[in-house]
A and B are shown apart, each in its own frame.
Chain A
Amino acid sequence: MAFIRIDGVRKVYRTRGKEFLAVSEATFDVRQGDLVALVGPSGCGKTTLLKILAGLHGYDAGTVAIGTATEPFDPARDIGMVFQQPLLLKWRRILDNVLLPAEIMGLPRAASVERAKDLLALVGLRGSEDKYPYELSGGMQQRASIARALIHDPKLVLMDEPFGALDALTREKMNLELLRIWSESRKTIVFVTHGITEAVFLGTRVVVLTAGPARMADNFEIDLPHPRTLDMRTHEQFGAYTRRIYKLLGME
């Protein structure tokens, strides 16, 4: 059985008597250890869908089920989040920023500190433990926020355009870094982006959402080998995937 089962999810926002369809016809499965990219233009409901998975939003129809008998899911402890902005606390050193979720959940301090140091090493920030956020570049801050999302060892990591605020070069570098972190941590990741190349390059599966009206347009597996390398983007198969998405988004 798949780790996440989303079936016919529909979400409508109501403001001042007006209705706005945010998500409709969303149906897809996520296997454990998948890195699923939700791709689509602004207003297609990808962030809303992510917040439904995080348990932050309700929905009007359909079902969302996370976890299996062998891999149970606790919605209070098993979610890590990364946003477009690093959202680090300015007054905390990097190590203490990474520890924030552990503090909130009341995890034992000594073990959490050890884990935080390991995670900072994993994301390539060894030696930055005692620095303040302003002493790090945007890309490095985002690495710290990825470490923070992993500190409580969640089973599901949700990322909302995590590299959208970075310059193009840093972004490519962070894509490779994310693939490395993903393969080393073996987490299930759901990743929102409006970058079509990014979605195909990172995803084991891509879910395409369209706007006006918001609905799920496609959902397919990316059959490219791992580890992915930058030159795969010139492969014929890679081009076929991106063309498929461009077509769905009416850009061809």
Chain B
Amino acid sequence: MGTEQLQRYTLAVLSHLALLAAWHLFVTLGNVPTFVMPSPLATANALLRPEYFWWRNIVATAGEIFGGYALAVVVGIGLAVLFSWFRWLEIALMPLLVSLNMIPKVALGPLFIVWFSYGVVPNILIAFSISFFPIVLTTARGLREVEPDLIDLVRSIRASRWQIFVKIQLPGALPYIFAGAKVAAILAVAGAIVGEFLGSERGLGYLMLQVQVTLDTAAMFMAVILITLIGVVLYGLVLGLERILVVRDARIG
């Protein structure tokens, strides 16, 4: 790691620590009541309350986020690939997808619950429905971005459509796929939590509603932090995969 890179990481860590310190000072110096805003220490202490089943709730929420996201990636990329193979399919379905995407996905929550009852499935579906559109859009765009001259070049030596897809189109679309996947990662987290708010019997969003009643603000803070951490892990995984698969020069977004 270069010195410059080390400095950047140090500064990033410092800014996070500074926020924590500011939070602590604001609460202690301002005599803010705990039920309004707990100190960082009080927030951490909420983890010690066994009746909140932290671990079980973390697993439930993470499962919904990762499940909905994985579904969005598979369906999103798959659909975009079909669009690039069958132009008429794109002409028929893309406007429909744009219309469907205008539906506020949150409004679908109560319907999903009617159809699939409470639990993990409707929350996965909300996370999926909110995060899959950007992936379709960017992947379809990426698959279209091929130099016509390059296609001429390989067609002059009789490259098959499959060879053009595997060797040129798909790897060329990867930077676009990742640009969409990064946006989708953030949306998937929001989708899963909204699902838990609407109706659920486990998960960090569910826990927040429970402790809201008893005004245990520290537990609510902790839940928000844990949700954020799950999102950071997901985003980090996507970023890491991008670093492995996409040459530096080709990365976008």
Where the two chains meet, the residues of A that have a C-beta atom closer than 8 Å to any C-beta of B are 51, 54-56, 76-77, 79, 81, 83-85, 87, 89-91, 100-101, 103-105, 132-134, 152, 158, 160
Task: Tell whether, in the assembled complex, residue B152 and residue A54 are in contact, meaning their CB atoms are under 8 Å apart.
Answer: yes
User: Is B159 on the interface with A (CB-CB < 8 A)?
Assistant: yes
Min Cβ gap A45→B in Å is 16
Collect the chain A residues with CB atoms within 8 Å of residue B159's CB: 104
Name the prevailing secondary structure of the B interface residues: helix
Collect the chain B residues with CB atoms within 8 Å of residue A104's CB: 154, 157-159, 163, 167
Query: How many angstroms from the CA of A114 to the CA of B245 in the assembled complex?
Result: 27
User: Is B199 on the interface with A (CB-CB < 8 A)?
Assistant: no
Task: Tell whether, in the assembled complex, residue A89 and residue B149 are in contact, meaning their CB atoms are under 8 Å apart.
Answer: no
Q: Mark B212-253, 1 if CB is under 8 A from A, else 0.
A: 000000000000000000000000000000000011111000
Which of B49-57, B82-90, B168-176, B184-192 is near enough to bind chain A?
Answer: B168-176
Within 8 A of A (CB), among B63-108: none
Collect the chain A residues with CB atoms within 8 Å of residue B4's CB: none
Known pairs A89-B167, A91-B172, A91-B246; list 15 more (Cβ under 8 Å).
Answer: A55-B156, A56-B156, A81-B153, A81-B156, A85-B149, A87-B147, A87-B149, A89-B171, A90-B250, A91-B247, A105-B158, A133-B249, A134-B247, A134-B248, A152-B157
Task: Tell whether, in the assembled complex, residue A91 and residue B158 are in contact, meaning their CB atoms are under 8 Å apart.
Answer: no
Where the two chains meet, the residues of B that have a C-beta atom closer than 8 Å to any C-beta of A are 147, 149-150, 152-159, 163, 167-168, 171-172, 174, 246-250
Query: How many angstroms from the CA of A46 to the CA of B159 in the assembled complex?
Result: 24
Collect the chain A residues with CB atoms within 8 Å of residue B171's CB: 89, 91
Task: Tell whether, in the assembled complex, residue B249 and residue A132 are in contact, meaning their CB atoms are under 8 Å apart.
Answer: yes
> Contacts A104-B163, A104-B167, A132-B247 known; A79 to B150 CB distance under 8 Å?
no
> Contacts A77-B157, A152-B157 known; A56 to B250 CB distance under 8 Å?
no
Closest CB pairs A-B (n = 4)? A134-B249, A90-B250, A83-B149, A76-B158
Task: Tell whether, in the assembled complex, residue A105 and residue B155 are in contact, meaning their CB atoms are under 8 Å apart.
Answer: no
Residue among B154, B157, B250 making CB contact with A91, cutoff 8 Å: B250
Collect the chain B residues with CB atoms within 8 Å of residue A85's CB: 147, 149
Total number of A-B contacts with CB less than 8 angstroms? 60
Collect the chain B residues with CB atoms within 8 Å of residue A54's CB: 152, 156
Min Cβ gap B145→A in Å is 11
Q: Which one of B150, B153, B154, B249 has the highest number of Cβ atoms from chain A below 10 Å of its Cβ?
A: B153
> Contacts A87-B150, A100-B167, A104-B167 known; A79 to B249 CB distance under 8 Å?
no
Task: Tell whether, in the assembled complex, residue B167 and residue A90 are in contact, meaning their CB atoms are under 8 Å apart.
Answer: no
Residue among A84, A101, A133, A158 making CB contact with B154, cutoff 8 Å: A101
Query: How many angstroms from the CA of A84 to the CA of B147 in the assembled complex?
Result: 12
Collect the chain A residues with CB atoms within 8 Å of residue B153's CB: 81, 83, 87
Collect the chain A residues with CB atoms within 8 Å of residue B174's CB: 91
Collect the chain B residues with CB atoms within 8 Å of residue A81's CB: 152-153, 156
Collect the chain B residues with CB atoms within 8 Å of residue A87's CB: 147, 149-150, 153
Min Cβ gap A96→B in Å is 10
Closest B residue to A148 by beta carbon equals B153
Closest A residue to B249 by beta carbon equals A134
CB<8 Å pairs between A and B, sample of 27: A51-B152, A54-B152, A55-B156, A56-B152, A56-B156, A76-B157, A77-B157, A79-B157, A81-B156, A84-B149, A85-B147, A87-B150, A89-B167, A89-B168, A90-B249, A91-B174, A91-B246, A100-B167, A104-B154, A104-B157, A104-B159, A104-B167, A132-B247, A132-B249, A134-B248, A158-B156, A160-B149
Collect the chain B residues with CB atoms within 8 Å of residue A79's CB: 156-157
